[in-house]
């Protein structure tokens, strides 16, 4: 596994895009983030495709109990996770997104995300999310974005995993 690119936000932004991703079998994004508004969510799209070509599921839980299972088919993006609330100024969340066989043109691209944080002063929470892009096109561009945008201080590192 090798680092491809790291983005550290020096200012608030709406999205982060990676487009230098060739030469690997799988990709992994590790990130620390903080939403720029309440009730946020992290989304992703491939190759600027905004059509209804995505499906996803999320399972959300707190220290007290599992809360809910969310999902959608024929969506315009993959919703990976809910995020920390901007009103909690010191709380960042962290996650890992695996993108398997992104260049394989014989199958759809699938992803998995694990994330953890706190929402305001509430108990810690975890989210596990999965998604699929209903296209066999090789992924050449990945856009990550937050419903409300991201605040300064967030960081994103994309890793490439070569076949053995």
For 13-61, how does the pLDDT look when each residue is reduced to its tens digit (9 = 90+)?
999 999 989 899 999 999 988 776 666 678 999 999 999 999 999 887 7
Counting the structural domains of the chain, the total is: 1
CATH number, position 122: 2.60.120
- Residue 34 has a CB neighbour count (10 Å cut-off) of 24
End-to-end Cα spacing for the chain: 11
Q: What is the mean pLDDT of each run of 10 residues along the chain (164 residues)?
A: 94 93 94 74 92 90 70 87 59 88 93 79 75 95 89 92 80
In the DSSP assignment, the letter for residue 11 is S
What pLDDT is recorded for position 117? 75
Range of the domain at 35: 2-161
Task: Please name the residue that has the structure tokens 């600027």.
Answer: 48
- State if pTM tops 0.85: yes
Alpha helix positions (H), the chain? none
């Amino acid at each position: 596994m090798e680092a491809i690119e790291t983005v550290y936000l020096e200012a608030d932004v709406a999205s982060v895009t990676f487009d230098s991703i060739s030469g690997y079998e799988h990709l992994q994004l590790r990130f620390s983030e903080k939403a720029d508004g309440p009730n946020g969510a992290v989304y992703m799209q491939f190759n600027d495709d905004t059509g209804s070509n995505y499906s996803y599921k999320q399972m959300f839980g707190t220290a007290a109990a599992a809360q809910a299972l969310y999902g959608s088919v024929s969506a315009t993006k993959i919703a990976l996770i809910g995020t920390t609330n901007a009103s909690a100024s010191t709380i960042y969340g962290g996650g890992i997104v695996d993108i398997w066989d992104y260049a394989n043109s014989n199958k759809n691209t699938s992803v998995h995300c694990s994330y953890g944080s706190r929402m305001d002063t509430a108990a810690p929470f975890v989210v596990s999310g999965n998604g699929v892009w209903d296209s066999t096109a090789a992924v050449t561009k990945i856009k990550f974005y937050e419903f409300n945008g991201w605040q300064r201080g967030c960081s994103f590192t994309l890793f490439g995993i070569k076949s053995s």
